[in-house]
Structure 1
């Protein structure tokens, strides 16, 4: 399974914010510069992260964003589930658009479903804090 670029950027934003001093506001421009990611992409990502309750945003001059909760409370599996638009690994996972003629008798769906469940279960074992084990190294590279 491969995460979308959208989810990748979402996780990177959370890592960036988590590496900052707690509560300190960060701008989209700072994150864009650190990762060399388009501001337009980041605007969409941060909007969704805010809507999902992972970050707080402050509008206006001197505004920015910060984590809405401490890193220990931000579960990676939850972030991935909220940011990914679908988990249809194969056509038959999408009942509405499935056209595969062997779907009723095929064992692939069950195997891939079990693999997807295992994948998400592993992500559920980790929080943002686990990804921030080397804050000093992150701060140095990201210049936060």
Structure 2
């Protein structure tokens, strides 16, 4: 399995917010920290907000924060949502499948099972299991 950079940055944003939950972060600040374009990160943040994991506030004192406790955010759910439009293989796409093996392919069912197992394994963990602290501390007290 390979996650898209979109999902990678989505997970990074969540880990960063979870590491300092009382603080609001700006998209520009996180984009600088992650060395990614602000426009790209804004799309990621929008998807995270639509998923209910991040809350956003505009203006002074605004920014991004977790919309729910890190312990309630399942990693598999996040990955599945962020990877929604990314077919594992061509034959999983809603349209545009040109694979000539599709009618008799016996690999597809195994790939679906493997993908489901991947998401299931990720769902065994929450964001709280992957907290990130920029100062290297393992816990906040």
1: CA distance between counterparts of 2:16 and 2:88?
Answer: 29
Alpha-carbon displacement from aligned partner over 1:7-45 (angstroms, at most 9, x marks no partner): 11100000110011x332111122122221211111111
After TM superposition, the score normalised by the length of structure 2 is: 0.87
1:19 correspondence with 2:14:
no
Which segment is superposed worse, 37-46 or 98-107?
98-107
- Deviation, 1:105, is 1.6
1:116-138 Cα offsets, whole Å, 9 max, x none, are 11111111111100111xx4xx2
User: Unmatched 5+ residue regions in structure 2?
Assistant: 137-141
TM-superposed deviation, 1:87: 4.5
Instruction: Give the deviation of 1:56 after TM superposition.
Output: 0.7
- Count of aligned pairs between the two proteins: 136
Say if 1:55 and 1:66, in contact at 8 Å, map to a contact too. Answer: yes
Q: Does 1:53 align with 2:48?
A: no
Indicate the larger mover: 123-132 or 103-112.
103-112
Identify the range of structure 1 (54-63 vs 86-95) with the bigger mean alpha-carbon deviation. Answer: 86-95
- What residue ranges of structure 1 are gaps of 5+ in the alignment? none
More helix by share: 1
| Structure-1-length-normalised TM-score | 0.85
- The residue aligned with 1:72 is 71
